[in-house]
Structures are given as C-alpha cells and as structure tokens.
Amino acid sequence: MILPIVAYGDPVLKKKAVEIDKDYPKLEELIANMYETMYGAYGVGLAAPQIGLAIRMFLVDTEPFAEDESFSEEEAAQLKAFKKTFINPIILEEEGDEWAFNEGCLSIPDVREDVFRQPKIKIQYQDEDFNTHVEEYDGLIARVIQHEYDHIEGVLFTDKLSSFKKRLLKGKLLNISKGKIRVDYRMRFPAMSRKR
C-alpha cells in the first residue's frame, strides 16, 4: 500500500526518532509499504518519519542512479545492486574531505540544493531479522545513507544550507507546508491536516 509522504513543515520531521525492537507491530508489512511508497515516488531513500512515524528505520535503493552515465561501470553496477533496510542505525564514523552533491527530498518536492558531507561512513544497524551489522560505505551510497540518517535525527537537508540559501528558499518551503505545490505522488501537508 502506498502511504502518503509527510511534507516539509510537519513536526514529525523535526523529531529525534526512537529505536524499535522485533515486537514492533506489523513491521514486515510496514517495510513492504515503505518500499512501495518509495518506488511510487521514484525515490532512492525513505525514512520512517517521512511517512509519519518517528522510529529509527529507513530504506535505501540506489538503482535509479545506475542510469546516470557519469558513473563508471563498476560504480553503476554497485548502485544498481544496493538495496537495504536499516533499523536502529548508528553512524559510528564519518571521514574524508566534505564534497558537494545536489540533494533532493521526497518531503521537499522541487527543491534541490548542493549539500556538503564527508565521503566515508562506518555504520552499525540491524536488518529486518534484527541481526546486527557493521559496514563501511563511500560515495553516493554513503551520501544517501547520511541523508536518511539525518531524517531519524530530525534533520532535513535544508537545515544544512547557508543562512543566505535558507532565506532564498523560505517562500518555497512555506508553500510546500501549505500544500501549494504540484506533486505526482501522495503527500500529507501539515497546514491541511490541522484544519478540520
């Protein structure tokens, strides 16, 4: 089932999410619905707060990036194959010189800005069966993980922009929170759910 994606301005996107355990109700169904929702919106990542749940879980599938011809064959193959569910993740280390990448977010449609992040990460997480893994990633895969990880910390990519950029985007962001935007996937807008 496709779930509505929570738009910029909803307080759930600003919350620090909480850990879950294997008794979390209907977890398998929730994960399946989140994948369907992400694919339905042509996203490469989706965090639980974006469907209104402040829990520490996100999904990543970088396959759409594999179409981009700027990547080497090896990188493209890696991006094509990367699909993973991260539960209770902790970024243990981030390293390297920050690099810029033009990021977007399903909760902030039609806004894309360069965001600086470190290129390498070490992350601990649990999979769908609650087995713990520690893995290292770099490049675009690390970038998507960092973006989704920020979501469960209550941070959006727009929070990381300069105050000048933030000022320029203010009106656009306000319009998104009011639902004054055309978007071709299901969304839930904070200003609209408040008035009954």
> Could you list the active site residues?
148
**Count, residues near Zn ion per rule CB under 5 A:** 1
Q: Which is nearer to Zn ion, 7 or 105 (CB)?
A: 105
Minimal distance in Å, beta carbon 72 to Zn ion? 26
Measured from the Cβ of residue 29, the count of other Cβ atoms closer than 10 Å reads 10
Pick the closest to residue 31 from 9, 10, 6, 61 (CA basis): 61
SS3 64: helix
Minimal distance in Å, beta carbon 40 to Zn ion? 15
Restricted to residues 45-64, the positions that interact with Zn ion (CB under 5 A) are: none
- For 30, 84, 169, 176, 194, the CA distances from 35, given in Å and listed in that order, are 9, 10, 29, 23, 27
60 backbone dihedrals φ, ψ, rounded to 5°: -135, 135
Q: Which is nearer to Zn ion, 134 or 155 (CB)?
A: 155
Measured from the Cβ of residue 6, the count of other Cβ atoms closer than 10 Å reads 22
Q: Is 145 in the site for Zn ion (CB under 5 A)?
A: no
The answer to the question of whether 105 is labelled as a binding residue is yes
Restricted to residues 92-111, the positions that interact with Zn ion (CB under 5 A) are: 105
Minimal distance in Å, beta carbon 23 to Zn ion? 28
Annotated binding-site positions:
105, 147, 151
Residues that constitute the known binding site for Fe cation: 105, 147, 151
